[in-house]
Chains A and B, each alone.
Chain A
């Protein structure tokens, strides 16, 4: 199984992003997803910047995929999507059927986690349209994956998110702007101040969710380290990590070492535990509430 690094969900500053991907070029991930997937108002990096980074990562031997916006409302967003779809050099991850509509028949594409593939017939329709890979939606469980893997269309790769705070929802409303009593149109790009999102607590102080502009993420970190054997048995091709500021490269190294059989999983578990500020969860994998941590007997 290969490791992939998903798109950065947060708005990080330009220099940090370039430095981050310079380190990614040296890190043991095989596939890197690049681009802004949350909000079109975030323009710290423009498409030429992403293509610049894509070129460097390709030169470093990585497979680069340009990821696309999830919630597409404005004409300008459709137009930007088209320039990505027609980039001509890199594969594209579709997170909305708008992207599927543009990519169908034009070039092979990746079905991102925000396209609802819940069954084989949907997967077959998308494979027919030219999908080469699908990323399992976050709320799906092991048994569903097993059933899909048994009959997945020939040649289609399967990618599963195994580490990171989970993308749970999207809205027309910007929750970061709202937290500052600003409207989205006058948001002043306040999300740039929260490189790991704004933590939302319950009124009794429990870490619950993270607000990231128009996106809501889980506060707990999804962690399938203990399921790597099962993922391999299910013939999953790629394991995806969701970028975060804290310990990203230690996380990548630990998971890679486990895949190589050179680090015992309990050692990796300790490293990952230090990078999960609100604890971990794996409920979705077990068909339980997503926030639950289900431990094996």
Chain B
């Protein structure tokens, strides 16, 4: 079971590789990938340096081109595939079937992974992508319970990668346009969710307000820690009650079920967070490396160490964690 870590910059990539990631994933510095944040990601030469650093550290390097190009963007997205093919990347992470079809035709030897943005949540959908585009690994959306992950694994002949740690997408990836409804930019179209350019903070008599393109996402009482206003993690009023109507600010953390994922045959554990700092990536990689090694050496006896959980919670969104959809009660 591999550990796949995020790298939004060369220092983050080095942090991941140096701390034991089996693979790192990166993206170009534009809208072709789903973490299109200012100041992040790699131009062609930086990507070349990054891939070479990963390979020297005996880590594999994946490159994500996982947004959905519209006709006017088509040439640019194909160009991203062309550039990626000249890098020595170990796999491309794609979501758009048109782009996968292009890739199959032009670069039949390039290994393809289906991005989480491809929304494949069952064996029939997975088999479609395998049959048409020769996809060799599928990243599962964060919607399946542990039992469902096991069932899918029994019915597909492809590697499955699942999310192990990081910010929790409460919606099915690739099928959420809440962000573009409010701001005009979505993960599918622009590679961003709740973009920083649309965020405004206001100090008012009732507290600190966070807004996304004018829509009030939350109000924080004096002294209450305020989180980034991701719109599905705000407090809203439904039926007379004000609460986190969709999800609390919290992180996904699978330490508790690591042996189950391993024994089910999951090929890789993915860490979310190409927008995160090198220090964050270093810490998570270090902890998960230790945890995965312990799990593989004796899955029956595996118990998450308190120090791991503590270290991860310290840097987690909302400073707490959940098993998310892996656990039925969360659903």
Q: Which residues of A approach B to under 8 Å, CB–CB?
A: 70-75, 77-78, 81, 96-102, 104, 114, 116, 118-126, 138-140, 143-144, 147-148, 166, 168-175, 178-179, 183-185, 198-206, 208-209, 211, 216, 218, 283-284, 287-291
A289-B122 contact in complex given A172-B325, A198-B239, C-beta closer than 8 Å:
no
**B92 adjacent to chain A (CB < 8 Å):** no
**In the complex, are the beta carbons of B331 and A119 less than 8 A apart?**
no
Q: Which of B68, B142, B143, B236 contacts A208 (CB 8 A)?
A: B236
- Which residues of B have CB within 8 Å of A81? 124
**In the complex, are the beta carbons of B178 and A169 less than 8 A apart?**
yes
Interface size bucket, B side?
Answer: 35 or more
- Which residues of B have CB within 8 Å of A287? 184
**B182 adjacent to chain A (CB < 8 Å):** yes
- Which residues of A have CB within 8 Å of B74? 119-121
A71-B71 contact in complex given A119-B96, A218-B181, C-beta closer than 8 Å:
no
**In the complex, are the beta carbons of B331 and A185 less than 8 A apart?**
yes
Please encode chain B, from 153 to 188, with 1 for each CB lying within 8 Å of some chain A CB and 0 for all others: 000000000000000001110111110111110101
A120-B71 contact in complex given A139-B186, A206-B215, C-beta closer than 8 Å:
yes
Q: Which of B72, B125, B170, B236 contacts A98 (CB 8 A)?
A: B125
A73-B71 contact in complex given A116-B174, A203-B219, A289-B180, C-beta closer than 8 Å:
no
**B101 adjacent to chain A (CB < 8 Å):** yes
**In the complex, are the beta carbons of A175 and B245 less than 8 A apart?**
yes
**In the complex, are the beta carbons of A100 and B101 less than 8 A apart?**
no
**In the complex, are the beta carbons of B70 and A140 less than 8 A apart?**
yes
**In the complex, are the beta carbons of B328 and A118 less than 8 A apart?**
no
**B131 adjacent to chain A (CB < 8 Å):** yes
**In the complex, are the beta carbons of A118 and B96 less than 8 A apart?**
yes
Closest to B188 in A: A116
Query: Lowest 4 CB-CB distances: which A-B pairs, in order?
Result: A121-B98, A98-B124, A122-B98, A147-B71
Please encode chain B, from 291 to 329, with 1 for each CB lying within 8 Å of some chain A CB and 0 for all others: 000000000000000000000000000000000010011
A288-B99 contact in complex given A169-B178, A216-B178, C-beta closer than 8 Å:
no
CA distance A148 to B73 in the complex (A): 12
- A-B pairs with CB below 8 Å: how many? 215
CA distance A118 to B68 in the complex (A): 6
**In the complex, are the beta carbons of B97 and A183 less than 8 A apart?**
no
A62 to chain B, nearest CB (A): 29
A97-B124 contact in complex given A75-B151, A147-B71, A218-B181, C-beta closer than 8 Å:
yes
A173-B71 contact in complex given A202-B237, A203-B219, A291-B181, C-beta closer than 8 Å:
no
**In the complex, are the beta carbons of A289 and B70 less than 8 A apart?**
no
B51 to chain A, nearest CB (A): 27
Q: Which of B145, B174, B184 contacts A288 (CB 8 A)?
A: B184
Residue of B127, B148, B245 most packed against chain A (CB within 10 A): B245
Would you give 16 A-B contacts (Cβ < 8 Å), ordered by A? A73-B122, A77-B122, A102-B124, A116-B175, A121-B98, A121-B99, A166-B177, A169-B178, A170-B172, A171-B246, A179-B241, A184-B328, A201-B237, A203-B235, A216-B246, A291-B215
A71-B180 contact in complex given A173-B325, A198-B239, A200-B236, C-beta closer than 8 Å:
no
- Which residues of A have CB within 8 Å of B71? 119-120, 144, 147-148
CA distance A211 to B170 in the complex (A): 14
**In the complex, are the beta carbons of A72 and B122 less than 8 A apart?**
yes
A122-B188 contact in complex given A289-B182, A291-B182, C-beta closer than 8 Å:
no
- Which residues of A have CB within 8 Å of B2? none
Closest to A126 in B: B97
- Extra contacts, 13 of them, besides A171-B172, A173-B247 (Cβ < 8 A), are A72-B122, A72-B125, A124-B101, A144-B72, A147-B71, A173-B331, A179-B239, A179-B241, A183-B329, A202-B236, A289-B183, A289-B213, A291-B182
CA distance A249 to B102 in the complex (A): 45
Closest to B237 in A: A201
CA distance A174 to B143 in the complex (A): 11
- Which residues of B have CB within 8 Å of A208? 215, 236
CA distance A200 to B329 in the complex (A): 22
CA distance A73 to B127 in the complex (A): 14
CA distance A240 to B49 in the complex (A): 50
Closest to B236 in A: A200
CA distance A254 to B165 in the complex (A): 51
In the complex, which residues 92-135 of chain B have their Cβ closer than 8 Å to any Cβ of chain A? 95-99, 101-102, 119-125, 127-129, 131-132
B24 to chain A, nearest CB (A): 26
CA distance A124 to B129 in the complex (A): 15
**In the complex, are the beta carbons of A125 and B132 less than 8 A apart?**
yes
